Amino acid sequence: METLTEPIAPPIDAAAIETPVAQRVMDLEKQHILQTYARYPVVLQRGKGCYLWDVEGKRYLDLLSGIGVNALGHSHPRIVRVIREQAGKLIHCSNLYYHEYQGKLAQKLSAMSGLPRTFFCNSGTEAIEGALKIAKAHGNKVSPEKNEIIALENSFHGRSIGALAITGQAKYRNDFEPLLPNVRFIPRHDIDALVESVTDRTAGIVLELIQGEGGIYPIGEKMTRVARELADRHNAMLLFDEIQCGVGRPGTYFSYQLSEPAVMPDVMVAAKPLGAGLPIGVIMTNERAAASLGAGMHGSTFGGGALATRVAHECCLMLEELMPNIRQAGAYFRTELAAMTHKFPFIKEVRGHGLMIGVDIDFPCKHFVTDALADGLLINVTHDTVVRMLPPYIINEREVDRAIRGLRNVFKRAARNYTKPAGL
């Protein structure tokens, strides 16, 4: 009987047998995926803690965490348990109804940030877009002329038209001009330019407090304080983009808390590490900013789903325990990197806070990424010359040592072809 229902074996695909799995995955994508990403030729299959394995079984130490997303590493047992449990109960029900986890997560985030109100969305870009709407709505309530946004050169805020309009890097914007009008960019360290630019026509000032895509550049506390004063004087909203540099990454919950007393924003957006790998973004506001958006003025179908918010809540519960490790492992990593500057004169500077680390190299070094891959390390190079590392918050000293050994190999190979430019 059974043999009758058995499916007929598909014809043997000779090509499939001869082609390695990784190649087949890459070929299939080449045919069907918009070619917007220049991917590295690695097909990842599974992860555990700070390590990932590709389809051929090769192991990599993950120093990038999916660009700051996998903050708890891979397959963290607490996260896996919560996902399993919640997926079996309720994944999504829409914002037409209540579920248990939005309020709980917002309460937790509020305790972490000092900002009482939250709106949930699904990505960083979407959060920035919502924050811009708050600034615009606030401006419109005061006067039709109050519609300018001040942003910083070298910033990155995302890929939608609004987010691009305030992103201070031409390479992301050029193909899509004209974008939104009334945006002014000022150099990230130029306090005088900031003072000159902010007027009664300013609706919002947007600061990415540690520029991530821009090469791990912390914006000085002075700049931030002046922005706060100007926003108050001219009744503008102060917006912080903590999408990459927030939610524990700098060794504090948010990077505005690195200075004491903290310079408080009116609106703050976060995303990347918040969902331990699930897509979730948040806009957090004080009461003044919250008042700009009334019922029906903003929304999101997927935003604040039960699964995403429950997992993010679990992630936030774990953050407090992880905070000492973020600080210690981060400090240790940066000290070990700084120690290498004596040996490798092309390392200009080691920058960052907590586990957001940039190593500034004095030549374009994109090839370091493939070089490190061969050594079993996942790193990234941003702004052409900055090796960027955003390791999981659970990274330990042994893993940092492994990272340093791998990076030393990468730097050693680079040193063979390096002649120090005159005048350095």
- Contacts with ligand PLP, residue ranges (CB under 6 A): 123-125, 128, 156-158, 208, 212-213, 241, 243-244, 271
| C-beta of residue 271 within 8 angstroms of C-beta of residue 300 | no
Smallest distance from ligand PLP to CB 102, Å: 19
| C-beta of residue 393 within 8 angstroms of C-beta of residue 65 | no
HSE on the CB side for 50, CA within 13 Å? 22
Q: What does the chain come to in residues?
A: 424
Residue with smaller CB distance to ligand PLP, 124 or 215? 124
Residue with smaller CB distance to ligand PLP, 146 or 353? 353
Residue with smaller CB distance to ligand PLP, 62 or 208? 208
Q: Which element (helix H / strand E) includes 60? A: strand 59-62
3-state DSSP percent of the chain in helix, strand and coil, to 5: 40, 20, 40
Smallest distance from ligand PLP to CB 180, Å: 16
| C-beta of residue 326 within 8 angstroms of C-beta of residue 247 | no
Smallest distance from ligand PLP to CB 85, Å: 26
HSE on the CB side for 167, CA within 13 Å? 24
CA dihedral 76→78→83→85, nearest 10 degrees, is 150
Give me the residue whose beta carbon is nearest to ligand PLP. 124
Angle between helices 306-340 and 101-113 (to 10 degrees): 30
Helix (H, G, I), strand (E, B) or coil at 48: strand
Smallest distance from ligand PLP to CB 89, Å: 27
Smallest distance from ligand PLP to CB 156, Å: 5
Residue with smaller CB distance to ligand PLP, 186 or 347? 186
Residue with smaller CB distance to ligand PLP, 26 or 179? 179
Residue with smaller CB distance to ligand PLP, 204 or 406? 204
Smallest distance from ligand PLP to CB 163, Å: 7
DSSP label at residue 153: B
Residue with smaller CB distance to ligand PLP, 247 or 410? 247
Smallest distance from ligand PLP to CB 97, Å: 26
Helix (H, G, I), strand (E, B) or coil at 300: coil
